[in-house]
């Protein structure tokens, strides 16, 4: 496959608690593929900024690595900055971060996004306030009404995050479906969230922010992107212009996986360009 016109702006290295490969190996693979633009966006879930932050009491000890996210994020940015110089002649590499739950540790989030070394910031919502990450919840032990209550809070907190808006693109809209529909097989009616999703898009567009097509669902039980074509098309029809594609790879073998399909979804939604960021400024690349 020719990757020279494709981008992958959502990947994780071993500086993420669930990442498997050192960033050096991720960059080397991206250079081998010849990606048009590539970013490492290690996790910084802000509610775990310091050790033991955000613990609900139900996390297993194996998840202790989630604590101290601020330290991991700063170490990732430092490593990326060094590698950016080493790979400058081989790869259009962007220094990035995935900022999770910024409003749950606002002062630290604002400090991080002001780091001049960053090219690109994804704003993500993995976890409602006072709840565990969506991937840890046991949906087979919940009533359907309880699942909808979680989603009510998910979209509401995401809208507040977008109103804050100190990131570049909104990450993996509809992320909880990876688990609720994909892993647990519980079908949901998202029509009830049409109005708030459109409001999220309105706020993003007004602030000059974008969304991503996250292709991780294509290689998981869910089988679709986050979000799906219908939402990408809605965003475009509302005037949205900034769109990125990311594999959400946590290992070398998944890097760029599904990005060609993501580019096709972008075209089907009416986009003629994808976007990447340099020094937090959008650059548009023709599809």
Tokens 């000059």, located at residue: 208
CA angle 94, 226, 284 (to 5 degrees): 40
Cα gap 120→97, rounded to integer Å: 7
* Angstrom distances, CA of residue 186 to CA of 14, 135, 176: 32, 14, 11
- Given a cut of 50, the residues of the chain with pLDDT beneath it are 55-66
Which pair of structure tokens corresponds to residue 284?
């548009």
* pLDDT attached to residue 72: 87
Stated pTM of the model: 0.94
| 234 class by beta-carbon count within 10 Å (0-12 exposed, 13-18 middle, 19+ buried) | middle
DSSP state at residue 50 = S
Q: Residue 55's pLDDT is what? A: 46
Rounded-to-integer distance, Cα 196 and Cα 204, Å: 12
State how far Cα 241 lies from the chain centre.
18
Peptide bond into 99 cis (omega under 30): no
The span from the first CA to the last CA of the chain, in angstroms, equals 15
Burial status of residue 72 (CB atoms within 10 A of its CB: 0-12, 13-18, 19 or more): buried
What are the CA-CA distances from residue 285 to residues 48, 92, 145, 268 (Å)? 35, 13, 43, 16
CB atoms within 10 A of CB 148: 15
Q: Rounded to an integer, what distance in angstroms lies between the CA atom of residue 232 and that of residue 272?
A: 13
- Of the candidates 231, 138, 153, the one whose C-alpha atom is nearest the C-alpha of residue 186 is 138
Q: Where are the domains of the chain?
A: 7-286
Residue 185, helix vs strand vs coil: coil
Tell whether domain 7-286 is in CATH 3.10.20.90. Answer: no
pLDDT for residue 67: 52
SS3 49: coil
% the chain with pLDDT above 70: 94
Query: Could you give the angle at which helices 106-113 and 69-86 cross, rounded to 10 degrees?
Result: 10
Cβ contacts of 187 within 8 Å, gap of 6 or more: 181
pLDDT at 170: 99
At 73-100, the pLDDT tens digits run 999 999 999 999 999 999 999 999 999 9
3-state SS, residue 244: strand
* Residue of 205, 215, 203 whose CA lies nearest to 262: 215
As given in the structure block, the two tokens for residue 161 are 């995050």
Question: How many residues belong to the chain?
Answer: 287
**pLDDT value for 1:** 85
**Per-residue pLDDT tens over the stretch 1-39:** 888 889 999 999 999 988 999 999 999 999 999 999 999
Two tokens at 114? 């002001």
């Amino acid at each position: 496959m020719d990757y020279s016109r494709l981008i992958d702006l959502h990947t994780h290295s071993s500086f993420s608690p669930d990442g498997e490969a050192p960033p050096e190996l991720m960059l080397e693979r991206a250079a081998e593929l010849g990606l048009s633009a590539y970013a490492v966006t290690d996790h910084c879930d802000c509610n775990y900024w310091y050790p033991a932050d955000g613990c609900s009491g139900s996390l297993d000890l194996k998840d202790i690595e989630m604590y101290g996210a601020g330290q991991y994020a700063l170490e990732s940015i430092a490593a990326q900055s060094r590698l950016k110089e080493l790979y400058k002649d081989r790869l259009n590499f962007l220094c990035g971060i995935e900022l999770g739950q910024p409003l749950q540790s606002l002062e630290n989030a604002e400090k991080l996004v002001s780091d001049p070394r960053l090219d690109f910031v994804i704003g993500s919502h993995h976890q409602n306030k006072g709840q565990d990450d969506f991937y840890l919840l046991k949906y087979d032990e919940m009533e359907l009404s309880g699942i909808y209550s979680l989603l009510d809070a998910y979209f509401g907190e995401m809208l507040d995050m977008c109103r804050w808006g100190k990131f570049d693109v909104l990450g993996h809209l509809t992320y909880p479906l990876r688990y609720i529909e994909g892993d647990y097989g519980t079908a949901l009616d998202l029509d009830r969230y049409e109005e708030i999703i459109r409001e999220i898009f309105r706020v993003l567009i007004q602030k000059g922010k974008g969304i991503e097509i996250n292709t991780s669902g294509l290689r998981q039980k869910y089988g679709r992107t986050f979000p799906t074509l219908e939402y990408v098309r809605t965003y475009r029809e509302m005037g949205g212009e900034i769109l990125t594609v990311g594999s959400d790879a946590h290992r070398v073998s998944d890097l760029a996986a599904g990005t060609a399909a993501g580019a096709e979804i972008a075209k089907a939604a009416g986009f003629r360009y994808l976007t990447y960021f340099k020094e937090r400024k959008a650059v548009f690349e023709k599809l």
